[in-house]
Amino acid sequence: MPDYGLPLTFGTFITPTNRPPHAAVELAQLSEQFGYDLVTFQDHPYQPSFLDTWTLMTWVAAQTTRIHVAPNVLNLPLRPPAVTARAAASLDLLSGGRFELGLGAGGFWDAIEAMGGRRLTPGQAVDALSEAIDVIRGIWATDDRAPLIVEGQYYGVHGAKRGPALSHEMPIWLGAYKPRMLRLTGRKAEGWLPSLAYLKAGDLAAGNAVIDEAAAGAGRDPREIRRLLNISGSFSATRERSAGAAGGTPQTLSGTSDDWVEDLLPLALENGISTFIVAADDPGVLQRFAEEVMPALREAVAAERASTGLIPTQTRVRAASARAKRRAGIDYDGLPVSIAETAIEPGDVAYTKVRSTYLRGGAPGLVLRLTDAAQVPDALAFARAQSVPLAVRSGGHGISGRSTNDGGIVIDLHELNTIEVLDEATRRVRIGPGARWMDVAAALGEHGWALSSGDYGGVGVGGLATAGGIGWLVREHGLTIDHLRAAEMVLADGSSVRVSADEHPHLFWGVRGAGANFGIVTSFEFEVDEVGDIGWAQFAFDASDTAGFLESWGSIVENSPRDLSSFLIMGAPRAGQPHVAQVLSVVDSDDPDTIISRLQPLAETAPLLQQSVQLMPYSALMANVQGGDHDAKGEPLARSGLIGHITPEFAAAASALLQSGEVYYFQIRSVGGAVADVAPDATAYANRSANFSVVVFGSHPDRLNALWDDLFHHFDGLYLSFETDLRAGRLEEAFPPATLERLRQLKAEYDPENVFRDNFNVAPTLQRMG
């Protein structure tokens, strides 16, 4: 059988002896140290001299960091499939995606019966294994929200809950020798795992033929099925020759390292073996194989492939079922090699973790999860060549940000998350767009520094740092963009530029407030502030006199020293209960007397229901991230406005809005202070005179829009990061006329084809006029 072109990997097959109990664990650790990719263990739970394989694998996974772990193979009659599925998924999660599942139909039936298992004929064992695979795959299919039902003769589940979700694409490898098992491997497995010692000449070629025929019959690519092989032997000065599985290859290897390479090479090139697993408990054998056989065999295979013109498979081969979920308009097979390995498609296990954002459900056709800024031009060029929407994601938390879509491409910068100090004297730092503000705060806090950002540590740097950044320190330290000194970015044409006050200054102006329209920022350079401990206050008030409370709170905040920043949150009133307002405030001071003096006027605003005041580092305040992946459903409905003062008229209108029941979340953030120190035309964020930012969330677009439109005459603009309304006129409300026209001209210069258009698009001047 020809070479399938898969990359070579190597593993060890270690006896799970309990004499002594740590022997197998130490050999697994040595396997990792020697550079093996995989460590495996046989599963014979009826052997009193063996450790339980599942317990051993769990302990090995905990005692290693890189190497993958697998049973070789699991004794299915004694391992119920639904329980096995959850155990495998759990170990996969705990190990960081390092568990693979090898299954066997069963053997040693007397011992299995003695342990309570059921004796099966060979044909029954294959049928039972087929049903078990269906159960296991069903438990893993967490994207299917329906309860799992499998009506099998040997295994069945009736409404089982699915999950947990896998950490990686976990293959199922089958230990198979007979035709029925081989056909099952071709139909349902991702790996064939026999032992060389049990094969005769021609068995590998014949087995591959059966597997490939069954795979083709099931609509699968034979390359989906990795061919693994357990091998054994000893190193010696000479070797013995005997007919084996592949003509001249003996069933047990011997001789020098060169002899081993010579014997294994045809197994790889003529029989498609891409994973060799060495069965040995001798550390010397494992070390010699790793140091002398593995590199030489890799080199020999690579040389032969090069001489024959075979192009090795650079990325994993997706299953036919996964390929069937691909979306129209995307050339999946045309992905550049530089970004293909980490690309996530709708049929991949990882898709459920990346399809949606914090507030918005999505179904993109492809998520390009990049690991290096150098990949951005390739990703952008590929995306431009497709006829689908494009979104760019840093943290995926934004309210307005279209960092997901339906059927399009998402360029995910999550892994571009470095945080480094460039110059301690000037407090200059470089931060990647995928870093989270919680991590930024923690890193800067080690130096006694901080950078005002938002109010939630899970927000990504990229979106916020190109829009504005209204956070807990805003009145004292300004917007996040006011600290930006330079940025590296990839433009629509794929070129990379550095922008600053001296380099592309006009583009640098646009990046600070409307950056999503001009390119993909791959790193930010900020000048941060010295910030010590802060006062953090949480108040709950009876705000039944809502209008009066809003007006009083606004007046106190607006007239307070700049070291006070305060946010107010309310929801719809509840019958028979006081209308509660939460006031969350930060005092940028570590002096308790100063903190109390700033907070006392707020505490006297209305009847106080609950209060908490703490002295803490700013990094502790930002360590407020909830765990788990983003898994939103539907679309958020939010409206935004910037306002100079909380006037009696606005307070009354806001109270009426809350009383309508159409708003379930109402927030006012203080702005003003240092924000207004920056000239309105210095950045694309131009509404510098506003002292407050207002945002509301509702559920019914038409009703909320009607109420908000009636209210909007109170505002002097809006903050696009908190806005979801895509009706005409939002850009004109967000940017003054001169600012918007300047943005359109920049767009015409740097993105004339309007590549970046899916997030409150500033259309180029020429396109708008045409």
pLDDT of residue 242: 57
Q: C-alpha angle with apex 700: 697 to 705, nearest 5 degrees?
A: 75
Half-sphere exposure of 157 (CA within 13 A, CB side): 22
Asked if the model's pLDDT at residue 246 lies above 70, the reply is: no
Average pLDDT, the chain: 94
Which pLDDT belongs to residue 117?
A: 73
Q: Give per-residue pLDDT as tens, 641-693.
A: 999 999 999 999 999 999 999 999 999 999 999 999 999 999 999 999 999 99
**What's residue 768's pLDDT?**
43
Least confidently predicted of 108-112, 120-124, 284-288, 503-507 = 108-112
pLDDT at 769: 35
Residue 261: pLDDT above 70? yes
**Burial class of residue 229 in the structure, from the number of CB atoms within 10 Å of its CB (0-12 exposed, 13-18 middle, 19+ buried):** buried
Tens of pLDDT, residues 545-581: 999 999 999 999 999 999 999 999 999 999 999 999 9
Give the pLDDT confidence of 144-179 residue by residue, as tens digits.
Answer: 889 999 999 999 899 999 999 999 999 999 999 999
Per-residue pLDDT of 308-366, as tens digits, reads 888 787 667 898 889 999 999 999 999 999 999 999 999 999 999 999 999 999 999 99
- pLDDT, residue 241, reads 65
Residue 758's pLDDT is 83
Sign of the C-alpha dihedral computed for residues 625, 629, 632 and 636 taken in this order: positive
The amino acid at residue 440 is: V
DSSP run (H or E) holding 654: helix 648-659
Give 689-736 pLDDT, tens digit per residue: 999 999 999 999 999 999 999 999 999 999 999 999 988 899 999 999
Condensed to tens digits (0 to 9), the pLDDT of residues 73-104 reads 999 888 999 999 999 999 999 999 999 999 99
Taking residues 538-542, report their average pLDDT: 98
For residue 694, what are the contacts with CB-CB under 8 A and spacing of at least 6?
640, 641, 642, 643, 654, 666, 667, 668, 669, 715
Strand partners, 496: 490
Residue-level pLDDT at 143: 86
- Give the pLDDT confidence of 278-324 residue by residue, as tens digits: 999 999 999 999 999 999 999 999 999 999 888 787 667 898 889 99
Residue 584 reports pLDDT greater than 50: yes
The pLDDT value recorded for residue 314 is 65
